[in-house]
Structure 1
Amino acid sequence: MGGKEPEYIITDQDPGIIKSVPLVFKTARHRFRCGHIMNKMPNKFGVSRSDYNDFISKLMTLYGTMSLRREFDGLWEQIVQDHGVGVNDWFADTYAIRGQWVMAHCRDLRMASIMRTTQRSESENSFFKRFEHKSGTLVEFWMRFESAMDQQRHTQKQLDNMDKHSSTTNQHIWH
C-alpha cells in the first residue's frame, strides 16, 4: 500500500487480532465482520431451546434490516425481551460493541459499501434457503423468490429515499 496504513481493518473477533490491530496499525479503524457475529448467535442462544426456530426467524429479520439504527435497535431489544437473553453476557457485550459491526451504526463510514458487499455474499445461501421446500416445485420456488425480490426492491427504494432526504449531520458513529 505504498507505506500507507489502511483506513479500516475488518476481521473476525479473534482475541489476538483484536490486541494486535492497534499495535500494528496506529490510525486504522478496526471493525468486526458482521457475518461472523451473526453466525455465532444461534450457538450463544442455544440450538436445543424450543423457541430456536422463532429466534432464527427474528435473527434473519434483524440481519436484513441493518440499514437503520432505530430498526436494528428496536428489533434487537425485541429479540432480547422475547427470548429472555437479556441476562446473557455475550448478547449484552455484542450489543455494546454494535458500532464496530452493525451497518446501521457505521453508515457514515466510507467502507460501508465494502461491508455491504461482504455481507451480501455471506448471506446469499441463507437467503435462498428461505425459498426451498423439499416437496416444492420450481414454479413455487420462483414465485417465493420473486416476492422476496419485490420486497427487497421496495425496502431499497425506501432506504434510498431516506438517504436522499437526510443530512449527514444526523449520522454519527456510536461508541
Structure 2
Amino acid sequence: MEMKIGDTGGVLEYLQQKQFVDPNFFYAIQVDEDDLIANIVWVDAQIMVDYSHFGDVVSFDTTYRKNKEGRPFALFVGVNHHKQTIIFGAALLYDETASAFIWLFDTFAMAMSGKQPKTILTDQDAAMAKVLTMTWPNTCHRLCIWHIYQNAAMHLSSVFARFTSFSKDFSACIYDFEEEEEFLCAWDEMLNKYELKSNEWLERMFKLREKWVLVYGRQSFCANMTTTQRSESMNSVLKRYVSYKHNLLQFFHHFDRLIDEHRYQELKADLRTCHSTPIASFPVEILKHAASV
C-alpha cells in the first residue's frame, strides 16, 4: 500500500523484461491476503552458475534496510575461487517472520534446481533458525561468531570490565580446542573462575554450542568463513549504490550495477590468474608444480 502508483507495474515489467532477455532469469513474488506484493526474490542465469560452483557455503543476512519503512533486504552471499564475495541471490521482504523465511528458503532452493547449501552462516535469529531446521534439515547451520562476541560484550559487560583475562578465556573456548571434552572442561573452568554459573545468557548460549563453538564445526566445510562478515561488508557496499530515497524500480536498477561491478572484479581476477603464476609460500617442489598447473 505504501508503494507509489506505478511502482508495482514498473517492477513487474522490469522482471519480465529481464526474463525476456535471459530466459533462465528466475523471479518469484508472494502476495498477501489482499493481493498486495509482500516478498520478492530474483536470480539470473549467471548467479545460478555461480551457485552451482560455489554454493556449498552461504552467508545469509537481512541487516540492510532498503527503505525508510525498514523493510528487510535479504542477501545470499558466498566466496568464489579468488576469495571474493559473490552474490547468490537477493530478496525484498515485508518482514522477518517465520512464514516469510519459509517461503524465501523454499523458493531459493527451487530457483537453484533443489540444491541446498552444505553450510549456512546467519546471525542469532530464532525464527530463522527454526525455519532452517524445517526447510533445510541437511544443511549445517552455523552462527556468526562476530555476532556472538557482540552479544557477549552486551550481556557480560560488567565481566569484561572487571576481568581483563575474560576475553582471552572466552575466545579460547570458541577457537582453541580439538576435542569436545577439552572444551567442556574449559567452559566449566571459565564459569567457576568468573562466578558465572547462574548467568542466563551463557546458559542459553551453551545450549546452542554446536552452532558456534569451533570444536563442533571442524567437520563442516565453511570455505574459511566463521562469520557473516561478507554479508556485513556487502551491506556497506550496498549503501553506495542504493538509497531508501530510491523508488522500488530504481532500487532494482542500482542493484544491477552492483552485480555488474562484482562480476567485473571477478573477470579482472581471472585475467590476472591466466597471465601470472602464484608465489608459493614455501620453496617446496609440489607447491611449485601446483602453481605452474
TM-score between the two structures when normalised by the length of structure 2: 0.35
The correspondence for 2:202, drawn from 63, 71, 91, is 91
The correspondence for 1:79, drawn from 187, 190, 195, is 190
Structure 2 unaligned regions, length at least 5? 1-111, 230-293
Q: Deviations over 1:113-140 (max 9, x none)?
A: 53xx223897xxxxxxxxxxxxxxxxxx
Alpha-carbon distance in 1 for matches of 2:201, 2:227: 25
Alpha-carbon distance in 2 for matches of 1:49, 1:34: 17
Counterpart residue identity of residue 104, structure 1: V
Q: Deviations over 1:81-116 (max 9, x none)?
A: 11111101111121122112212123333x2x53xx
User: Does 2:130 correspond to 1:19?
Assistant: yes
Indicate the structure whose relative CO is greater, using CA pairs within 8 Å and at least 6 residues apart.
1
Contact 1:12 1:32 in 2 (8 A): yes
Contact 2:173 2:213 in 1 (8 A): no
Contact 1:46 1:52 in 2 (8 A): no
Counterpart residue identity of residue 191, structure 2: V
Structure 1 unaligned regions, length at least 5? 123-175
The structure-2 alpha-carbon separation of the partners of 1:107 and 1:87, relative to structure 1 and needing over 3 Å to count, comes to same
TM-score between the two structures when normalised by the length of structure 1: 0.55
Corresponding residue of 2:226? 119
- Structure 1 runs of 4+ aligned residues shifted over 4 Å read none
Structure number with higher strand proportion: 2
Correspondence 1:47-62 to 2 at 5 A: 47=158, 51-62=162-173
The structure-2 alpha-carbon separation of the partners of 1:18 and 1:85, relative to structure 1 and needing over 3 Å to count, comes to same
The structure-2 alpha-carbon separation of the partners of 1:33 and 1:7, relative to structure 1 and needing over 3 Å to count, comes to same
User: Does 2:155 correspond to 1:44?
Assistant: yes
The structure-2 alpha-carbon separation of the partners of 1:81 and 1:23, relative to structure 1 and needing over 3 Å to count, comes to same
The structure-2 alpha-carbon separation of the partners of 1:40 and 1:60, relative to structure 1 and needing over 3 Å to count, comes to same
Percentage of matched positions with identical amino acids: 20
Report the Cα offset of residue 7 of structure 1.
2.4
Alpha-carbon distance in 1 for matches of 2:129, 2:227: 24
Structure number with higher helix proportion: 1
Counterpart residue identity of residue 65, structure 1: D
